Structure 1
């Protein structure tokens, strides 16, 4: 079911007493901060296509496929879209009692309603695969409610488990610098950026950018770009019969390069993943 809106579409994929899963696709027409919004209940939001910036007070978080964002109940926020092309996210709301059982106490704020104490966490490649599997299987009508719930809970557990996450760290200045670099890379996933080009775009030295990015994100710049490309591949696999063309579109030098990178990251080739996600 789709809910119409001037700027975005909300597709309800699953509603049970414990879990609600929605696919939110935004046109991204608002370059500057939009109207103030407020979540009625706490949501875990997994961006899987494009980028946007979520503004909460003085905290600005670039939303991309490498992380989960926490939209806390009763918390005001605004959204802007520095990059053209729109974005899409998988939004999930869980029964609060269930979410408290899944979430490590250190991640939660004190009191009621249930809220997270930070705005985002980095997720690992396995969590990215679970996002794609959950979305594809629900959109295609392959997964029954029980399976959908199980996949959703597995994803939440994976995303919140301390061993699989990396919280954004370091100073606010370095965080803002890294966020600018992330927006530069996301602007054109297929472009073969050089370090000097990215550093020039954000106005710092290549050495400082390299050190800052690794400190804040926990991965080097090139690795982050690769993860963005492969996450986009997870999103687009259902739409491409020619996987070689998909690899070229995402900036890989050849089909074999694309396949090898995908398999190394996710443990399956692109064709194997498509078979599992769409033809079970």
Structure 2
């Protein structure tokens, strides 16, 4: 039985959107794979690691991953639970209009220089709106195409996304911290616990994480938890339970934090995807 479940949510020729769920049975590196088109992959649940040559990228809900056409890669799942992603393929001429030249390799073939960018909360919300709207058959084609292009534009924008720039050693350290955070989103981690797992001091960990990701580690973890809430809002009836399951101290704490990041309360967002 395949470890993948793939559902095409939209295919207009200009834009194809698929929901890809992987059970994560392959804990170590998979066999080499490649794609016949450039894919923009938005993880919204779980975590995996993508290996391109000697370059590794931790894929979780704060990241956009670029899968270049005909570029070989491998995938591993060091954390149990599998993953789920929204996979977009944009017609190449349209994609070139959305991405700056600085992000692309030189040459005639469209290929991204780096395989990941950190997206902002607005892009995370657009991922959820697009996925919930299409899977529930609430979004009409024109609306869904517009949402998808807005999502890509924001996720590739220099002002609305972040391309980590760091040495391989620092990036590897930060990626190990991300895997630890992703292993249990509801856990109230301490700096000492994470630093001990990574093998550095708490001070060094906070400094390196800030330098690589341009945000504090605690805020990165918070965005992972809230992105999980975006994923689950379609299936939870009791929002107090959802907040508690994600490690928030109370419904008011969950609701206020969610609104601060996404501009609306969990209840308001839930109504928008159930309209």
Distance 2:29 2:164 in 1: 22
Aligned to 1:204: 200
Distance 1:11 1:173 in 2: 37
Aligned to 1:179: 175
Once the two structures are TM-superposed, the CA of residue 114 in structure 1 deviates from its matched residue by 1.3
Distance 1:172 1:154 in 2: 32
Aligned to 1:76: 72
Deviations 1:165-218 (A, max 9, x none): 111111110100000000001100011010000000010011110000011111
Distance 2:6 2:193 in 1: 37
Residue 231, structure 1, aligned to residue 227, structure 2: yes
Deviations 1:77-130 (A, max 9, x none): 000000001100000000000000111111111223311111111100000000
The alignment partner of 1:271 has SS state of helix
Once the two structures are TM-superposed, the CA of residue 247 in structure 1 deviates from its matched residue by 0.4
Residue 160, structure 1, aligned to residue 156, structure 2: yes
Distance 1:145 1:109 in 2: 32
Distance 1:17 1:37 in 2: 24
Aligned to 1:103: 99
> 1:1-280 to 2 correspondence within 5 Å?
6-279=2-275
Distance 2:194 2:155 in 1: 29
Distance 2:171 2:76 in 1: 17
TM-score normalised by structure 1 residue count: 0.97
Q: Structure 1: which 5+ residue stretches go unaligned?
A: none
Distance 2:109 2:22 in 1: 28
